[in-house]
Amino acid sequence: MAWKLLDTGCLVVKVRYVRDFKGDGVLWYVRRIPAHAQPHHGGKTHIRKSLKTRDLKVATAAAAKLASADDVLWASLAADEGRGRVTTPANREAAKALLAVLDLTPGILTPGRKLQPWEDPTDALDRYFMRRYGPAYMEARQSPELEHIDVEDFWTPWEREAVRLLKEGDTLPEAKLSDALAIYLKLHPRGAQAKFRADAERVFSQVYGALGDLTLKECRRDHAHKLLEAMLAKGNKTQTVRRNLTTVVAVFNRGLIEFDLQSRNNPFESLHIPQESEDAKERSPFTSEELVSITKACRERDDYIRHIIAVQLDTGARLAEVVGLLRTDVVLSGAVPHIIIQPHTSLGRTLKTPASERKVPLVGEALWAAQRALAAPRKRDTAPSPWLFPQYVKDGTLRAGHSAATINKWLGGLLGNDKTSHSFRHAMRDRLRHAGIPEPIQDILGGWGKRSIGQGYGEGYTLEQLHEHMLKVVLKAPQAA
């Protein structure tokens, strides 16, 4: 039962983990240990530690500090991070929490420091590691003939960091690649987005596999070449390798800035990739005949997959741009029906480039598909979704990429070739060219490239103007089955 720190009659503030454990007025920190952490506390089910005060306010502050340390430690014990080989800022916090639990002070083993008779960190650590790893640890610790076993091989990264803190004090070690990645994700505008974070971490899993978690000062040009060779050896296309290296360069540059290492060069910059782009598969646009076949098949099936395809077909939008539309992004009222392709960061909806944000008039099959998608019945047992295509939202996260395999498989079966949904963009570019649409308007409609300085002045082209141009590329509407 929590103690009351404040009770005004209408406001009650309670204190957690503070108890008069022995009934003599001295307050204690008392807290249950979660099951997964109990082995690290000698099998105990509760922590009971005297706060050595009868003052509730003083005890509250002390208990909060202890609770915070325990929270960090217990989270690290449960997290996958503790099983890896990467030292991160989170591991350092866990290491400090571990030392607090063991009543050990960072820096106690620094060279030249004379230990007091009651200070014996080695004994405390041995008891901890014995509980954690059992007799195998002590056998390796005490048997020098077992040269193939290193006691440090038992330790997690945060345990290694705890030992380092004892030897070097509460100072940061030299910044590592993992530190650069952590601060890059922390500071990047999209760093909190699950997909952005996962993509960056996936790239750096290749970095750690090829090089290890080097310090930024250790990284040299030969490391960069080794990483390049490892990425190519995995069978990645050269364009994929270049994209991954771009992430590495950006992370390393952020690390150089944030850790005051600007005098160093970035060894991962300007790497030459042999035969770059020569292995790229050229995407062919759909022919006019193929587009007509697709429109007929979409109208016959008339379901959400075909609605997505039809919107792509007559807008040239990227697949993720269509799948990520909210219902409010579809505007059917007014003089010009259109879709608004825009980010919804809080919902995980991002765009490829700033130029991707645009309004595209709905004509032909795109207008038909948008109308049908909005009118599609919703399941009665589910809450109304803000998404136009909620089938690709799971646990509140938009998974636009999951639609690609289904759509591309259907297109391949229909046409008997390997063209994908991205071919709609290539086809739309050709359709706009062949209709004599000015290139600046082509770029605006497709979200291609970067806006020129001139395009940034004024209000730009009106929807009515864009609509007139889109009408010039409309296919002859097929008859509904």
Round to whole Å and give the CA distance between 152 and 299.
Answer: 65
Q: Are 245 and 228 in contact (CB under 8 A)?
A: yes
CA-nearest of 458, 478, 456 to 369 is 478
* pLDDT tens digits, 336-362: 999 999 988 777 777 877 788 999 999
CB burial readout 132-144, b (16+ within 10 A) else e: ebeeebeebbeee
DSSP per-residue codes, 288-302: HHHHHHHHHHHHHH-
Round to whole Å and give the CA distance between 158 and 226.
Answer: 28
Amino acid at 54: R
CATH architecture of 288-471: Orthogonal Bundle (1.10)
DSSP per-residue codes, 151-197: GGGG--HHHHHHHHHHHH-S-----BHHHHHHHHHHHSTTTTSHHHH
DSSP per-residue codes, 370-384: HHHHHHSPPPTTSPP
Q: Are 128 and 37 in contact (CB under 8 A)?
A: no
Tell me the helix, strand and coil percentages in the chain, rounded to 5. 50, 10, 40
Q: Are 308 and 444 in contact (CB under 8 A)?
A: no
DSSP per-residue codes, 344-359: BGGGTB--SSGGG-EE
Confidence of residue 10 (pLDDT cuts 50, 70, 90): very low
**Weakest-pLDDT range from 69-78, 167-176, 358-367:** 69-78
Rg (CA), the chain: 31
Query: Which residue has tokens 């049908």?
Result: 372
Q: Are 340 and 322 in contact (CB under 8 A)?
A: no
Average model confidence (pLDDT) for the chain?
82
Beta bridge partners of 339: 330, 360
Q: Would you say how long the chain is, in residues? A: 481
Tokens of 174: 């030299």
Q: Does pLDDT of 56 surpass 90?
A: no
pTM reported for the whole predicted model = 0.57
**Weakest-pLDDT range from 102-111, 182-191, 266-275, 283-292:** 102-111
Q: Does pLDDT of 75 surpass 80?
A: no
* pLDDT tens digits, 82-103: 444 444 666 777 888 888 888 8
Round to whole Å and give the CA distance between 364 and 475.
Answer: 7
pLDDT of residue 137: 76
* pLDDT tens digits, 35-46: 877 776 767 888
Round to whole Å and give the CA distance between 319 and 123.
Answer: 61
Q: Where are the domains of the chain?
A: 3-78, 80-168, 177-258, 288-471
Confidence of residue 60 (pLDDT cuts 50, 70, 90): confident
Q: Does pLDDT of 8 surpass 50?
A: no
